[in-house]
A = this chain, B = another copy of it.
């Protein structure tokens, strides 16, 4: 399946590499490809420069946000939440029309330090904001409740005996995302309901962040025992 990854941070890189490894045709998109390629310093999050990652993944072409979105049958929003609407606007509503838009971002505001706050919650969600901004895209919120390494390779923890969630208004789009998640190794994908249920999964962030502190590792995940 052709996948367009929007965002070249650690989430975008991790998923792009894994999806390419599984045989998907992946294009990864950035605001300014020439600038992204030219960078030689780690980014603000401490990720190595894109060029060093790209040297190991030459099978993943780098394009603009629009080129990545145009390429994808599934478009994957792997940008930081505060920049998601802008990045998807640059990707172009016309390139998202009818597409499955897998939204992985969380509405985290780091401006006050750690832990970050949610700038939208409980009565609205980033997933809903994106669905409203791009009404012709079929938004599915998923994977935002775990660290990138587990999104891409859930089997590395407890033989993947933990849960992922999907939220969205389009049943076919959720089925497509669920199949993609299973191909990554996810064994338990729970359909929470329509896109308003993204409020619930985004609101897992505060306890996720505290668990990260308490456990001293991001390699943990929620399992819904039933």
Binding site for B on A (CB under 8 A): 117-118, 121-123, 157-158, 161-162, 165, 190-193, 197, 199-201, 203-204, 206-211, 213-215, 217, 219-226
A213 to B220, CA, bound (A): 25
Given contacts A117-B123, A222-B223, whether A192 and B204 have CB atoms under 8 Å apart is no
Contact: B210 with A193, CB < 8 Å? yes
A214 cross-chain contacts in B, Cβ below 8 A: 190-193
A219 cross-chain contacts in B, Cβ below 8 A: 226
Contact: B222 with A226, CB < 8 Å? no
A200 cross-chain contacts in B, Cβ below 8 A: 206-211
A226 cross-chain contacts in B, Cβ below 8 A: 157, 215, 217, 219-221
Closest approach, in angstroms, between the C-beta of A114 and any C-beta of chain B? Answer: 12
Closest approach, in angstroms, between the C-beta of A126 and any C-beta of chain B? Answer: 14
A165 to B109, CA, bound (A): 25
User: Which residue in B118, B158, B190, B203 is a CB contact (below 8 Å) of A211?
Assistant: B190
15 A-B pairs within 8 Å (CB atoms) are namely: A117-B122, A161-B225, A193-B213, A199-B206, A200-B209, A200-B210, A203-B206, A203-B207, A217-B226, A219-B226, A221-B226, A222-B222, A222-B225, A223-B223, A223-B225
Contact: A122 with B206, CB < 8 Å? yes
Contact: B123 with A225, CB < 8 Å? no
A118 cross-chain contacts in B, Cβ below 8 A: 122
Closest approach, in angstroms, between the C-beta of A35 and any C-beta of chain B? Answer: 35
A215 cross-chain contacts in B, Cβ below 8 A: 190, 224, 226
Residue of B nearest to A203 (CB): B203
